[in-house]
Amino acid sequence: MIDIRYSAEVQAAKAAGHALVALESTIITHGMPYPQNVEVAAQVEQDIRDAGAVPATMAVMNGTLHVGLEAEQLQSLGQAKGVAKLSRADFAACLATGGTGATTVAATMIAARLAGIEVFATGGIGGVHKGAETTFDISADLMELAQSPVTVVAAGAKAILDVAKTLEVLETQGVPVIAFGQDSFPAFWSAQSDLAAPLRMDSPSDIAKAHAMRQAIGLPGGQLIANPIPAEAEIASEVLAPVIAQAQAEADAQGVTGKGVTPFLLQRIFELTNGKSLEANIALVRNNARLAAQIARELIVAQG
Ligand code: PSU
Ligand code: MN
């Protein structure tokens, strides 16, 4: 009933039992401007291939779930206007009504589960927004991590979020949050934050073993791997704090709510930093893609 189409590359990789890494598409349609979005998406796919795995970018096009996009599909998605941003709540409705939409972290995890892919690379996850005690704005990404069996590699949570509350919700939901190679929870644009990560691992192999162990003991849900941004790409938090505060104040003043909040903040931060935030974003997504490829390869060993 569900119409799933695999790209030729993903189809061949599945048949051969090769390591696969899922990629989201909201980062393309709502997270970065054209044409950098398409360039970055293609570059990230290549980074995964160079690290010995096969990329599977997810999107819904005319009611079909695409697992792996051909180059021309990536181009048209990257330029399309008004593409829906799909999360758990609207994923099935989009498929059922022949719609087109980009997948968030939550929807990409659902798509990955359907496609039998267990590792996923992205930039930042959604989380608990600042002021959530009055707005109740908590991303469905956090609840999805508790439900879908996918290990998600991200660079921690953006300072547009209340990072401490985000960690609290993840703990409540029973999601393992594992910093890679350091003790502190990375803060997206900065490698370090003043919050300790609940767990630390220093090798892709340990991460793969922990993923396999959750399966073995029958725990649903995935893992969040918090991979610090490479040092040369960091932006100091003092530089970004006023920018984030301004973007947040504008969002509040304009009454932005619901799924509009995160894209609005990302776009304003890009504009207010004259594109500097985007450079850092690109560096960390590529870094996450490489780590995810290594984890996916180790997972084949761990499950072997
Ligand atoms: N954070 C980023 N970049 C992004 C997103 C979040 O730093 O592109 C996107 C992801 O697709 C994520 C979604 O799943 O925004 C979360 O949206 P919301 O906060 O509305 O749940
Ligand atoms: Mn939200």
The answer to whether 76 and 44 have CB atoms below 8 angstroms apart is: no
Pairing of strands 177-180, 223-226: parallel
Neighbours of 231 (CB within 10 A): 8
68 CA to centre of ligand 2 in angstroms: 26
In angstroms, how far is CA 109 from the centroid of its own chain?
9
Pairing of strands 54-61, 101-103: antiparallel
What mean pLDDT, rounded, does the chain reach? 96
Question: 294 falls in which pLDDT band (50, 70, 90)?
Answer: very high
**What integer is the mean pLDDT of 232-258?**
95
Residues by chain with Cβ below 5 Å of ion ligand 2: 137
Is 24 a pocket residue for ligand 1 (Cβ < 6 Å)?
Answer: yes
**What integer is the mean pLDDT of 186-209?**
96
271 CA to centre of ligand 1 in angstroms: 17
Is 132 a pocket residue for ligand 1 (Cβ < 6 Å)?
Answer: no
**What integer is the mean pLDDT of 133-144?**
97
Is 105 a pocket residue for ligand 1 (Cβ < 6 Å)?
Answer: yes
The answer to whether 117 and 132 have CB atoms below 8 angstroms apart is: no
Whether 237 shows a pLDDT value over 90: the answer reads no
Distance CA 90, CA 87 (A): 6
33 CA to centre of ligand 1 in angstroms: 14
Is 109 a pocket residue for ligand 1 (Cβ < 6 Å)?
Answer: no
What pLDDT sits at residue 3? 95
- Distances in Å between the Cα of 189 and the Cα atoms of 80, 102, 111, 243, 280 are 28, 24, 28, 13, 7
Question: 187 falls in which pLDDT band (50, 70, 90)?
Answer: very high
Residues in the chain: 304
| Amino acid at site 150 | V
In 130-236, which ranges are E strands? 151-154, 177-180, 199-201, 223-226
Distance CA 186, CA 102 (A): 26
Whether 159 shows a pLDDT value over 90: the answer reads no
| Amino acid at site 189 | W
- The two three-digit tokens of residue 135, written as one number: 């707005």
The answer to whether 109 and 144 have CB atoms below 8 angstroms apart is: yes
259 CA to centre of ligand 1 in angstroms: 9
What pLDDT sits at residue 47? 98
Q: What is the pLDDT of residues 62-101, one digit of tens each?
A: 999 999 999 999 999 999 998 999 999 999 999 999 999 9
The answer to whether 6 and 14 have CB atoms below 8 angstroms apart is: yes
Phi, psi of 201 (to 5 degrees): -135, 150
Ligand 1 atom with the smallest distance to the CA of 262 is 19
Q: What is the pLDDT of residues 106-121, one digit of tens each?
A: 999 999 999 999 999 9
Whether 172 shows a pLDDT value over 90: the answer reads yes
Distance CA 173, CA 219 (A): 12
Q: What is the pLDDT of residues 261-290, one digit of tens each?
A: 999 999 999 999 998 999 999 999 999 999
Residue with the nearest Cα to atom 20 of ligand 1?
259
Which domains does the chain possess?
Answer: 4-302 (3.40.1790.10)
- The two three-digit tokens of residue 203, written as one number: 């090798």
Distance CA 289, CA 119 (A): 10
